[in-house]
Amino acid sequence: MGMTDTASRPATDDVTAEVTAWLEENWDPELTVGEWWEKLGTAGWAAPTWSKEWYGHDMSREEGNRVSKAIRDFGALGAPGGLGLLLAGPTIAVHGTDEQKQRYLRDIVTGQKAWCQLFSEPGAGSDLAGLQCKAMKDGDEWIINGQKVWTSGGHYADLGMLLARTDPDVPKHQGISYFAFEMHQPGVEVRPLREMTGRALFNEVFMTDARVHDDACIAGQGNGWKVANTTLMFERAGLGAGGGEAAGGTASPGTVAGDLDKRAGDFVARREGGGGGGAAGLLGGASQLLVEMAKQSGQIKDPMIRQALMRLHTRNEIARFTNLRLKAGADLPGVGNIAKLTMSQILRETRDLGLRIVGPAGTLHAYNSEDRKVLDEATGNPLLGMITEMALFSPGPSIYGGTDEVQHNIIGERVLGLPKEPNNDRVMAFKDLPKNT
Ligand SMILES: Cc1cc2nc3c(=O)[nH]c(=O)nc-3n(C[C@H](O)[C@H](O)[C@H](O)COP(=O)(O)OP(=O)(O)OC[C@H]3O[C@@H](n4cnc5c(N)ncnc54)[C@H](O)[C@@H]3O)c2cc1C
């Protein structure tokens, strides 16, 4: 994906000016979400870091962030969020044929189709290459049988990034293929899994004799591991940067969520109303929020609280400096893994400090907006819900996109050159390896 030399681009103020001028011409809160995203996406402002040829502006990541900020500051609805823009699109842009880019990228930038990630299985999470979902060739199609789990947004998705085993007779990393898989077809059953936040963010997905055409195989049969690693690289980089929160949009892409026909302006108003956002959205301003809360409760005078606030601030600053070094062109091996580890650490510290500041009220959580109102009134603290929401969600980021332990392994083996754990994975046929059950 085109990350260009910033020096060859107009100054960032010009980027802001350019997108703002475009917004002045084009933003209309009366448009439907679908109509607005059509304009935004085809003008290259939904995915400005993508190449000009494929719905982007060849911008650097920093410039892309400026575009999101400009859209937010303008008060327009931001780009469609979700895994299409964050993961599937960039992956297809790297590995897809032109025909596949044509078929999938437009619907991603215009929010017409929502995507989910069909990677993890009950016996294959950290050991993702041990996946057992089967794809059997049948003419020009593949027949899919197997189960996926923890599929975020599976219930809203039109398409899935599916990893399936197309050849059990070769070593495990070589027998995997990556498909763009239609979710709305016979033989696909999506069952929600409720989390302790009260929401059902993710799902189990069962595939029984489901089908996918061979022309939806990205990078060809047996090359899925390479493609999956590209997706995971984008996932870690996006998460480390607090990704998935493209511009200011709270509308959901895709045909199932039902937002495409709604008035675009209503989603901007809703965003300004606060709440929503979730833990990832909160992280950016979280340390400032905690300072404000500590000031209001008088705990800012407590030296232990002050010290914890400073530690959090320092971590955030180190993360910011790392980003600046990257922008300045530094080659930092393992930076995606480090960014992900840093983000989950900051989230845990924010949770612990937030709960210390709110005290016993932190044991109270409202699971819907009605109860939230009652709780806000009873405690007099409208920020309490954000803290408890973050506390309940906080284990998530150190698990998804590869657990913290797995990030440490990758840094150890691929960056520091430490020896790998001995195994036969790379030489023995997958069918002969011991399996997780
Ligand atoms: C909020 C959330 C959203 C998710 N969304 C998706 C999604 O959309 N699509 C998808 O495919 N998956 C998704 N996942 C699943 C996620 O990718 C897996 O949970 C993750 O890869 C870990 O796999 P596992 O749960 O099977 O745990 P396991 O792999 O069984 O790990 C269990 C524990 O053992 C440790 N461990 C395992 N192997 C090693 C090792 N070699 N060295 C050291 N420690 C090790 C792990 O760190 C962990 O602590 C999501 C998870 C969460 C929490």
pLDDT in the model for residue 423: 86
Position 2 pLDDT exceeds 70 = no
Per-residue pLDDT, averaged over 327-350, amounts to 87
pLDDT digits (tens, 9 = 90+) for 383-402: 899 899 999 999 998 998 89
Residues 118 and 149: their CA atoms lie apart, in Å, by 8
Residues 435 and 423: their CA atoms lie apart, in Å, by 13
Please give the structure tokens belonging to residue 412. Answer: 């150890």
Residue 244 backbone zone (phi > 0: left; psi -120 to 50: alpha; other: beta): left
Q: Which atom of ligand 1 is nearest to the CA of 148?
A: 11
How close is the Cα of 135 to the center of ligand 1, in Å? 23
How close is the Cα of 148 to the center of ligand 1, in Å? 13
Residue-wise burial string across 154-193, b where 16 or more C-beta atoms lie within 10 A, e elsewhere: bbbbbbbbbbbbbbeebbbbbbbbbbbbbbeeeebebeee
Map tokens 């219930």 to a residue. Answer: 155
Q: Which atom of ligand 1 is nearest to the CA of 117?
A: 9
Percent residues over pLDDT 90 in the chain? 73
How close is the Cα of 52 to the center of ligand 1, in Å? 36
Q: Which atom of ligand 1 is nearest to the CA of 395?
A: 53
pLDDT digits (tens, 9 = 90+) for 104-158: 999 999 999 999 999 999 999 999 999 999 999 999 999 999 999 999 999 999 9
- Provide long-range contacts, Cβ within 8 A and 24+ apart, for 47-54: 47/79, 47/85, 47/89, 47/108, 47/109, 48/19, 49/1, 49/2, 49/3, 50/1, 50/2, 50/89, 50/90, 50/93, 50/105, 50/109, 51/1, 51/2, 51/93, 52/2, 54/93, 54/101, 54/105
Active-site position among 63, 121, 182, 235? 235
Residue 73 — φ and ψ, nearest 5°?
-60, -30
Position 8 pLDDT exceeds 90 = no
Strand partners, 145: 134
Q: Tell me which of 177-186, 280-289, 411-420 is least confident.
A: 280-289
pLDDT digits (tens, 9 = 90+) for 40-98: 999 999 999 999 999 999 998 889 989 999 999 999 999 998 999 999 999 999 999 99
Position 279 pLDDT exceeds 70 = no
Q: Which atom of ligand 1 is nearest to the CA of 153?
A: 8
Pocket of ligand 1 (CB under 6 A): 116-117, 119-120, 125-126, 150-152, 202, 396, 399-400, 402-403, 405-406, 409
Q: Of all protein residues, whose CA lies closest to atom 41 belonging to ligand 1?
A: 406
Q: Of all protein residues, whose CA lies closest to atom 35 belonging to ligand 1?
A: 405
How close is the Cα of 432 to the center of ligand 1, in Å? 24
Residues 277 and 285: their CA atoms lie apart, in Å, by 12
Residues 156 and 381: their CA atoms lie apart, in Å, by 33
Residue 427 — φ and ψ, nearest 5°?
-115, -25
Residues 246 and 83: their CA atoms lie apart, in Å, by 11
Strand partners, 117: 161
Residues 145 and 206: their CA atoms lie apart, in Å, by 8
Q: Give the helix ranges, DSSP H, for 298-334.
A: 303-327
DSSP-assigned letters across all residues of 179-244: EEEESSSTTEEEEEE--TTS---EEEEEEEEEEEEGGGBTT-TT-HHHHHHHHHHHHHHHHHTT-S
Q: Is 235 a catalytic residue?
A: yes
